[in-house]
A = this chain, B = another copy of it.
C-alpha cells in the first residue's frame, strides 16, 4: 500500500485555449510551477480541473500529460487521478488507463445522479472500481456539497475495511469534523485522510491531519507552508492570522462569481489557464482589473506562489 501523503496536494485547473480546447503545452510549466512552490502532489480531473465537464478522451489526455512530466522528473510529485463519475464501468475504463500511464493512485467519487442511500451501497460502487485495479491505491473523494451524497465517511470506511485492500483513504471536502476525527482514529489511523477544505486547514491540523488537497494550493503555497510551520512550532496566533488571510482570499472567489474565479488567481500568479467551460460561469469580461485591485489590497503578495 502507498505511504500516507504528508504535505499539500494541488488540484490543478485544466488549462484551456481560447477556443475551449485543452492547452496541453501549458501542463509542463504548470507541473514545474507547482513543484517549485512546494506542492507534493496533484489531484487531476477533480472539481477544480472540471473533470466532469471534460470528455473521457480529454480526461485521459490530461492524465497522460501530467504523467509525462512526472516521468521526466527524478523526484516526481504524487499524481492522483479522479476517475469517478456516475457509471462505474466508465470509471473502470479510466482506472485502467490511469494504471497504464503510471498514476500513483486514483480517486472515486459518489455517483451524483442516482445517489446511494447507504454506506453499503456506496461501498459496493467503490469496490467495483477498485477491484479492476487491485495494485493501485484508491481514494474516495467526499464532497457532499457537489454530489449531494452526505453519508458519514466513518460508515464508508467501516464498510470498506477488510474488504478492499487497495482502499487508501479519503479526500475529505466537507465540514464534519466529528466524522473526520473518527476516521483519523479508526483502525489505528490506517487510512490516509486528506483534508479538502483549505479555508479551515488549521482546525484539521489540530485534529491530526497531515495531508491536504485543495485548489488554493495552486496559487498560495507560501501562505499555507508558513501556516503549517507556525502551527508546528507552536505559534498558533500567527497560524490563525494566516488562516484568516486565506479566508479573506477565498472570499474573493465568492465576490467574483465562484469557482470561475480560480483561473483569475492563476493568471495573477503568472500561469495562464484560459477560461472555464460551460456550465461554469467564467469571470465577467472586464472584472479582472477590479479583481486584481482587490487581490493587491489583501496585502499578501509574498504569500502567493511564484512563477519564474
Contacts and interface: CB of A to CB of B under 8 A. Distances in A.
A56 B90 contact: yes
Contacts of A277: 88
Interface string A196-207: 000110111111
B175 A199 contact: no
Contact of A121 (B146, B199, B279): B279
A206 B250 contact: no
Given A176-B175, A206-B206, A117 B87 contact: no
Given A206-B203, A250-B178, A279 B111 contact: yes
A236 B90 CA distance: 43
A279 B56 CA distance: 20
Contacts of A90: 55-56
Given A112-B112, A206-B203, A279 B55 contact: no
A62 interface: no
A175 B53 CA distance: 29
Contact of A247 (B86, B182, B240): B182
Interface in A190-249: 199-200, 202-208, 234, 236, 240-241, 243-244, 247
A89 interface: yes
Contacts of A135: none
A202 B184 CA distance: 14
Tallying the copies of this chain within the complex gives 4
Nearest to A20: B89
Contacts of A58: 89
Contacts of A278: 88, 121, 124-125, 128
Nearest to A234: B234
Nearest to A124: B278
A259 B114 contact: yes
Contacts of A55: 87, 89-90, 93
Interface in A142-181: 146-148, 175-178, 181
A30 to B, nearest CB: 21
Interface range, A side = 35 or more
Nearest to A200: B177
Nearest to A208: B240
A208 B292 CA distance: 31
Nearest to A186: B244
A121 to B, nearest CB: 6
A303 interface: no
Contacts of A125: 278-279
Interface in A62-118: 85-90, 93, 111-118
Given A181-B200, A203-B204, 20 more contacts: A47-B114, A52-B111, A52-B113, A53-B86, A53-B87, A55-B93, A114-B280, A117-B258, A121-B281, A125-B278, A175-B176, A177-B177, A178-B199, A181-B244, A182-B244, A184-B240, A203-B206, A206-B206, A206-B236, A234-B234
